[in-house]
A and B are shown apart, each in its own frame.
Chain A
Amino acid sequence: MDLVATVLDGILLGGLYALFASGLSLIFGVMRLVNTAHGDLIVLSAFIALVVTDRLGVHPLVSLVLVVPLMALLGYGLQRGIFNRTLGSDILPSVLVSFGLTVLLQNALLQIFSADSRRLQAGNLETLHIDLPGGMAVGVLPCLMFIVALIVIGGLQLLLYHTELGRAFRSVSDDQETAQLMGINNAHLFGLAMALSLAIVSVAGVFLGIRTNFDPSIGPTRLIFAFEAIIIGGLGDLWGTLVGGVILGVAQTLGARINPGYQILAGHLVFLAILTLRPQGFFAKLR
């Protein structure tokens, strides 16, 4: 029974990883931009939520009402002001610039908030649980994270395949020059994609801040989890990203069960194994 509970924990943790990953996946899909600052943007949104909850005395989840639009706006500005200038046939400039942004964000957060660990106080949400048969229990927070991940990915899927904006995203992803011939303003569309990505990031950031301690240095690790979830699931498939997140989550909780020090290592080992045996991931879109 213990094992079942561990696996269940891992599955639910996968929801958080899918939230980390889906914004990153969207950006790469639409404009072939590898945003290495993605993890630090997750942390930044956790800090913004911290300020909002402190100042206004609201619950972290309520703070999303402010954090989501703020991050979306920041995303649009970042894309139009900086990232759009780095896009082209060469992927390297965008990697370098987003890496620069990583350094900048980490140091700015360090300057403002110091290196201390913080936590978003979510009251009894952190301890609430649902009793399951067989003496098992599952936390309400992990369940909520998983449900939100399902909603976010389902919503993204709906947007991409059933709206005009989604059609524009897909056509730009196929062929940027021809997309311009359709009357699409690529620079604006990329801005919208980044806004959407950072809106998802802010949800991920708030859940991260409720679930664990955070400090300015933890961004890169979240970026790696996001990358691993995307690669395991297969590039370009959002439901695959969720499965990738779940596989990563289960590997980590099982690893932690063997020895708490093995949690991260076990995730990386499974990732490595999948990269070796099935480098295209489980649900790779054929292109």
Chain B
Amino acid sequence: MQSNGTLLEARGLTAFYGDFQALFDIDFRIKRNETVAIIGSNGAGKSTLLKSIIGLVRAKAEAIYFDGKAIGGNPAYRIIAQGISMVPEGRRLFPSLSVEENLSIGAYSKRQGPWNLEAVYAVFPMLKEKHNVAATALSGGQQQMVAIGRALMANPRLLLCDEISLGLAPVIIKEIYAQLERITANGTTLIVVEQDIKQAMAVSDRVYCVREGRVVLEGRPPDLGREEITKAYFGM
């Protein structure tokens, strides 16, 4: 495989919650080492898209390919073992676990790679100071760092981040995205879901806009006009 080859591909991806169809025929291709932002308003299907990739929402077998292998319909633990991990919306730290235990449980799949406790502490030194504290006692920004560190402990080739700037102060958001850039510099591919269009355009190589479960716009940030994005985002 070439280093600029496709890492993740969706072909006609659909997703359902019971009878409700949340995703319609989604197609996309994500290259190795790329940072892709998925934008869209509330309820557009962004989170569902990430959940389908990681196996929390069931997809058809042939709908998702990771590194050339069909992974759709696989349970999450199999997909994670192959090198995808996710920072869920709202951080979802385990309240009964300390900071260090939250990080350690991220390595449950035992995937080998550069990330371990020491490496995470090197990126977020503050977490080392608070390693024994209950994770939910931290500030929002620190909790987000734990959530990112926990996902890194699985040594992903593809990292999915769902709304990591939600509810955080702008200065913290800037810091977290700066760290993400450093983290992905070693070759990790990144998909971020963002409601903040500006933020998404600033950090990504490519943007997909999702509305009502469909991809309505795709392109490189410099090529996309403001009006075009607004139209795709709001559908007017």
Check A183/B76 contact, CB under 8 A, given A164-B108, A168-B105, A171-B105: yes
Check A181/B76 contact, CB under 8 A, given A167-B104, A168-B105, A175-B92: yes
B residues near A178, Cβ cutoff 8 Å: 88, 92, 94
Q: Are B94 and A181 in contact (CB under 8 A)?
A: no
Q: Closest B-chain residue to A173, C-beta based? A: B96
CA distance A168 to B108 in the complex (A): 8
CA distance A171 to B154 in the complex (A): 16
Q: Are B56 and A170 in contact (CB under 8 A)?
A: no
Q: Is B95 an interface residue when CB atoms closer than 8 A count as contact?
A: yes
B residues near A174, Cβ cutoff 8 Å: 94-97
Min CB distance A200 to B, Å, is: 21
Min CB distance B86 to A, Å, is: 5
Q: Are A180 and B94 in contact (CB under 8 A)?
A: no
Q: Is B80 an interface residue when CB atoms closer than 8 A count as contact?
A: yes
Q: Are B75 and A181 in contact (CB under 8 A)?
A: no
Q: Is A224 an interface residue when CB atoms closer than 8 A count as contact?
A: no
CA distance A180 to B96 in the complex (A): 16
Q: Closest B-chain residue to A186, C-beta based? A: B77
CA distance A159 to B174 in the complex (A): 40
- Residues of A137-193 contacting chain B, CB below 8 A: 164, 167-168, 170-171, 173-175, 177-185
User: B94's contact among A164, A171, A183, by CB below 8 Å, is which?
Assistant: A171
B residues near A184, Cβ cutoff 8 Å: 77, 108
The majority secondary structure among interface residues of chain A is: helix
A residues near B104, Cβ cutoff 8 Å: 164, 167
Check A180/B56 contact, CB under 8 A, given A174-B94, A174-B96: yes
CA distance A174 to B134 in the complex (A): 13
Min CB distance A181 to B, Å, is: 5
Q: Are A170 and B94 in contact (CB under 8 A)?
A: yes
Q: Is B101 an interface residue when CB atoms closer than 8 A count as contact?
A: yes
Check A171/B97 contact, CB under 8 A, given A180-B56, A181-B54: yes
Q: What 1/0 mask marks residues of chain B from 88 to 124 whose CB sits below 8 Å from any chain A CB?
A: 1000101111000100111011010000000000000
Q: Are A183 and B88 in contact (CB under 8 A)?
A: no
Min CB distance A186 to B, Å, is: 8
Min CB distance A285 to B, Å, is: 8
Q: Are A177 and B105 in contact (CB under 8 A)?
A: no
A residues near B111, Cβ cutoff 8 Å: 183
CA distance A153 to B48 in the complex (A): 42
CA distance A178 to B86 in the complex (A): 9
Check A170/B96 contact, CB under 8 A, given A178-B88, A182-B108, A183-B77: yes
Q: Closest B-chain residue to A187, C-beta based? A: B75
Q: Are A185 and B56 in contact (CB under 8 A)?
A: no
Q: Is B133 an interface residue when CB atoms closer than 8 A count as contact?
A: no
B residues near A170, Cβ cutoff 8 Å: 94, 96-97, 101
Q: Are B92 and A182 in contact (CB under 8 A)?
A: no
Q: Are A180 and B108 in contact (CB under 8 A)?
A: no
B residues near A164, Cβ cutoff 8 Å: 104, 108
Q: Closest A-chain residue to B80, C-beta based? A: A183
Q: Is B81 an interface residue when CB atoms closer than 8 A count as contact?
A: yes
Min CB distance A90 to B, Å, is: 15
Min CB distance B19 to A, Å, is: 17
Q: Is B189 an interface residue when CB atoms closer than 8 A count as contact?
A: no
Q: Closest B-chain residue to A183, C-beta based? A: B109
Q: Is B14 an interface residue when CB atoms closer than 8 A count as contact?
A: no
Min CB distance B29 to A, Å, is: 24
A residues near B75, Cβ cutoff 8 Å: 180, 185
B residues near A179, Cβ cutoff 8 Å: 94
Q: Closest B-chain residue to A169, C-beta based? A: B96
- Residues of A250-287 contacting chain B, CB below 8 A: 287
CA distance A174 to B105 in the complex (A): 13
The 13 listed contacts between A and B (C-beta, < 8 Å) are A167-B101, A170-B97, A171-B94, A174-B94, A175-B94, A177-B88, A178-B92, A181-B92, A183-B80, A183-B109, A184-B77, A184-B108, A185-B75
**A-to-B contact residues, CB < 8 Å:** 164, 167-168, 170-171, 173-175, 177-185, 287
**B-to-A contact residues, CB < 8 Å:** 54-56, 75-77, 80-81, 85-86, 88, 92, 94-97, 101, 104-106, 108-109, 111, 150-151, 154
18 new A-B contacts, CB < 8 A, other than A167-B97, A171-B94, are: A164-B108, A167-B105, A168-B105, A170-B94, A171-B97, A173-B96, A174-B94, A180-B56, A181-B86, A181-B88, A181-B151, A182-B105, A182-B108, A182-B150, A182-B154, A183-B108, A183-B109, A184-B108
Nearest 7 Cβ contacts at the A-B interface: A183-B109, A183-B80, A178-B92, A174-B94, A180-B76, A185-B77, A171-B94
